[in-house]
């Protein structure tokens, strides 16, 4: 380890060329150095490695047994280092074979992943996509470890230190089945509170959400009779019952089985963001994936 600390890259490059040329003058020309400079490098290499390395002979310099043993490992090491520091080539989606992992709720699956799926398959047919369940407390750790490439979460609840890009602003609307007798027009606040509501509770079993917090400020409550863990199941419930619910508007805009009206209470919306770790920020493939997802909205 002590010898390695005394070596620098310039010495190793000089040794590699000397082992190829067996001549200080020719090595100096290849390295664009003076002959005395190459001789100084050789002297340092001999001192650090404890071996003459190259011996003068009638037909130039002859490598020692130690130098011959170093030749191939040194060449391979320098080639690997060159590959490591060479700028990444432009990403070609048509030739890509990556497997990407996206962390999303069923809401983000429907509003972000699904709209982008056709473009991803058409332009990068050799890639694969794994959509995994979003676990907000683990987003940062999963991204740091490379377990996920991108997560979709509300911007205000994004972990500190993660890169983010706000994709869109979302708002809540009142939703019920098409033909719902109580949703032919916008209900009054009193009528809204008397309707039977279904709520999404990501943590399971909750009967209070952002709508209830807004109503509570006015001293009001609504009638929540069903709590479910996923938006898509909530939509199925709304299609097949007379229950109503407050849903993000993007979930409802493409379905004719549900009717949405403006609620009589202004419920704060949220910004939906794409999150990723700094380790992936400059990767050309990751940049392409981010741009493709954002462009599909």
Three-state secondary structure readout of 150-184: EEEEEHHHCCCCCEEEEEEEECEEEEEECCCHHHC
Q: Which residue would you say has higher pLDDT here, 154 or 7?
A: 154
- Average pLDDT of span 254-272: 94
* pLDDT confidence tier of residue 101, bands split at 50, 70 and 90: very high
What rounded mean pLDDT belongs to the chain? 93
- Average pLDDT of span 21-48: 91
Task: Give dist(CA 14, CA 28) in Å, integer.
Answer: 9
Tens of pLDDT, residue by residue over 113-139, are 999 999 999 999 999 999 999 999 999
Choices 3.40.50.360, 1.20.1070.10, 3.30.565.10, 3.40.190.10: CATH for 96-170+272-295: 3.40.190.10
Q: Looking at domain 172-268, which CATH architecture does it have?
A: 3-Layer(aba) Sandwich (3.40)
Domain boundaries, the chain: 2-85, 96-170+272-295, 172-268
Q: What's the pLDDT at 4?
A: 60
Q: What's the pLDDT at 202?
A: 80
Nearest Cα residue to 17 out of 35, 4, 2: 35
Choices 1.10.3720.10, 1.10.357.10, 1.10.10.10, 3.40.640.10: CATH for 2-85: 1.10.10.10
pLDDT above 60: residue 2:
no
The DSSP secondary-structure symbol of 252 reads: H
Task: Give dist(CA 293, CA 115) in Å, integer.
Answer: 8
Tens of pLDDT, residue by residue over 165-199, are 999 999 999 999 999 999 999 999 999 999 999 99
121 close to 115: Cβ distance less than 8 angstroms: no
Q: Do the domains 96-170+272-295 and 172-268 sit in the same CATH topology, yes or no?
A: yes
Task: Give dist(CA 151, CA 160) in Å, integer.
Answer: 14
* pLDDT confidence tier of residue 88, bands split at 50, 70 and 90: low
pLDDT > 90: what percent of the chain? 80
The pair of structure tokens assigned to 121 is: 């398959």
CA angle 50, 52, 54 (to 5 degrees): 145
pTM: predicted TM-score of the whole model, two decimal places: 0.75
């Amino acid at each position: 380890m002590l010898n390695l600390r005394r070596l620098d890259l310039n010495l190793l490059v000089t040794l590699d060329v000397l082992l190829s040329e067996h001549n200080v003058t020719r090595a100096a020309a290849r390295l664009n150095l003076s002959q005395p400079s190459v001789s100084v490098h050789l002297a340092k290499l001999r001192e650090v490695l404890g071996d003459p390395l190259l011996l003068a002979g009638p037909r130039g310099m002859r490598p020692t047994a130690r130098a011959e043993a170093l030749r191939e490992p040194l060449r391979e090491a320098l080639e690997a280092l060159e590959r490591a520091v060479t700028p990444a080539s432009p990403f070609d989606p048509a030739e890509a074979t990556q497997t990407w992992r996206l962390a999303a709720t069923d809401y983000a699956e429907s509003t972000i992943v699904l709209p982008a799926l056709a473009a991803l398959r058409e332009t990068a047919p050799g890639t694969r996509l794994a959509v995994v369940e979003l676990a907000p407390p683990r987003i940062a750790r999963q991204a740091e470890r490379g377990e996920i490439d991108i997560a979709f979460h509300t911007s205000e609840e994004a972990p500190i230190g993660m890169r983010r890009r706000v994709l869109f602003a979302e708002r809540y609307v009142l939703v019920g089945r098409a033909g719902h007798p109580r949703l032919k027009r916008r209900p009054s606040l009193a009528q809204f509170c008397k309707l039977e509501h279904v709520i999404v509770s990501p943590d399971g079993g909750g009967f209070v959400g952002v709508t209830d917090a807004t109503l509570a400020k006015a001293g009001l409550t609504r009638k929540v009779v069903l709590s479910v863990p996923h938006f898509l199941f909530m939509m199925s419930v709304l299609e097949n019952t007379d229950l109503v619910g407050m849903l993000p508007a993007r979930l409802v805009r493409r379905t004719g089985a549900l009717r949405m009206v403006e609620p009589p209470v202004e419920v704060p919306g949220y910004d939906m963001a794409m999150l990723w770790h700094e380790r992936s920020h400059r990767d050309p493939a990751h940049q392409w994936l981010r741009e493709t997802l954002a462009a599909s909205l």
